[in-house]
Structure 1
C-alpha cells in the first residue's frame, strides 16, 4: 500500500490538473461563472428561511446564521458524495489507455469541492457580520474542523466511487440516502427540536452518532457560540475516517485490475 500512496504522490501534477479542470468545468457554460459559488448557497438560505420561518413559524433571531452554516457545510458534503460516484467512470477512456492510480480521481474531486466550500465561507462571513456574530478565539479551530471534514469526505469519495464502478445503480440510490441524512441532521432544523419530536428513544443515539451532526455542531460552536467544539466526537470521527481512507487505498491497490476489467 505504501507503494500505491507513493504512486499517487508522484502523480501530484495530474492531481493538480484534475482539480483545476474540475473547477473550470463546473461553471463552463454559465453566464455568471464562479459567482454561482456565492449565489447558490445564498439562494438556498432564502428558500429554506421562507419555508421554516415564514411558512412554519419556526426559528429564533439567530436562525439565519444557524441556517447558512448548515446549508453551506451540507452543500460541500452533498456535492462531494454525489459527484464522487462518477469520478472514476467518467474517465474511462483515459484509464483504459494509461496506467493511473484510480484513487486519484475521487481524491481530486474532494479537493475540488473544498475550494467551492471556501467560497461558501464568504457567504457565512457575510451573515455573521450582518447579524452581529463575532467569532471568538475558538476560530483557530476552524482549519482543523475543515481538515477533519476533508478526511471524512475523502473516505466517502473513495468508497462511493469504488462501489459505483461495479454497481452502477448506487448512483441512483445515493440521492435518497443523502436526503435521509439531510432531514435527520441539524441542517434546517435545530438539533434539540429533532430530539423533542416523537422519535423513539433509540433513534436519539443515532442522531448523536450522526457524523454530519458532529461536524455541523463543531462549525456552529466556533462560529456562532464562541465555544470550543466537542473534541471527543471529532476525534472518533477523525480516527474512523483515517482508517477508512487507508483501508480503501489498500483495497484500490489490491483491485486495480478488477476496476480496469469492469471499465
Structure 2
C-alpha cells in the first residue's frame, strides 16, 4: 500500500498532464472556449430561476444568490459523478501498454473539475456583488470547505471509476443517481420555502451534499459559521474511504488490466 502511494507520487507529472489535458479537452471544439466555464453555471441559474420564481412563484429577494451557490457547487459534484465512470476505461489503450497506477485517472478527473468549479466561483462573486451580499471574515473558511468537498468527490470518483471497469452499465445508472441526488439535496429548494414532508427530514440531515452546500451558503451568504462537526465527519470518512479504495486498487491492478 505504501509502495503504491509512493508510485502515485512519482507519477505527479502524469497527474498534472492529465489535469491540463482535461481542462483543454472540455471546450476544445467550442467557439467560446474557456468562457463556457463562466457561461454554463450562469445559464443554469437563469433556467432554474425562471422555473422556481417565474413559473412556481417561489423564492425571495436573496434567492438568486442562494441558487447560484447551489448550482455552481452541484456542477462540480454532478460532473465528477457522471464522468468518473469513464475515467479509467477511456484510457484503456494507454493502460494496456504502460504500467500506471489506475487510481491516478479518477483523481485527475476530480482535480480537473475542481479548477472548473473555481472559475464558477467567479459567477458566485458576481452575484454577491450584484445583490449587495458582502462576505465576512468567514470567507477564509472557503478553502477548507473546498478541500472537504474535494476529498468527498475523490472517494466517489475512485469508487465509480473502479466499478465501471467491470460493470459498464454503471454509466447509465449514475445518470439516474445524479438526478435523484439533485432533487434530494437543497440545490434549488430551501427547507424554509419548500417544507420537507414529515419522515423525510433525513434526506437533508444525513445528506453530505446538503451539508457541503449549507457550508458554502453559511459563509458566503448567511454570515454564520458552518456545521464544523458535520464537515469534520465528512472529511474524515472521505479520507479513510480514499485509503480503502487505494488499497483496493493496489490489490486489484491486474484485474483492471484484464478487464480492459
Partner residue in 1 for 2:89? 89
- 1:215, CA displacement in angstroms? 0.3
Looking at structure 1, the residues matched to 254 and 191 of structure 2 have their Cα atoms a distance apart, in angstroms, of: 45
Partner residue in 2 for 1:28? 28
Q: Is 1:185–1:191's contact at 8 Å kept on the other side of the alignment?
A: no
Task: Tell me the alpha carbon deviations over residues 99-122 of structure 1, each in whole angstroms, 9 at most, x when there is no partner.
Answer: 000000000011000100011000
Partner residue in 2 for 1:43? 43
Partner residue in 2 for 1:70? 70
Task: Tell me the alpha carbon deviations over residues 16-68 of structure 1, each in whole angstroms, 9 at most, x when there is no partner.
Answer: 00000000001010000000000000000000000000000000100000000
Partner residue in 2 for 1:247? 244
Partner residue in 2 for 1:204? 201
Question: Given the two structures, how large is their TM-score scaled by the length of structure 2?
Answer: 0.99
Partner residue in 1 for 2:144? 144
Partner residue in 1 for 2:231? 234
Question: Given the two structures, how large is their TM-score scaled by the length of structure 1?
Answer: 0.97
Q: Is 2:58–2:193's contact at 8 Å kept on the other side of the alignment?
A: no
Unaligned runs of 5+ in 1: none
- 1:259 to 2:256 alignment: yes
SS in 1 for 2:101: coil
The Cα RMSD (Å) is 0.8
Unaligned runs of 5+ in 2: none
Partner residue in 1 for 2:185? 185
- 1:214 to 2:205 alignment: no
- 1:193, CA displacement in angstroms? 4.2
Q: Equivalent residues in 2 for 1:93-132 (5 A)?
A: 93-132=93-132
Q: Please identify runs of 4+ aligned residues in structure 1 that moved more than 4 A.
A: none
- 1:207, CA displacement in angstroms? 2.0
Q: Is 2:155–2:245's contact at 8 Å kept on the other side of the alignment?
A: yes
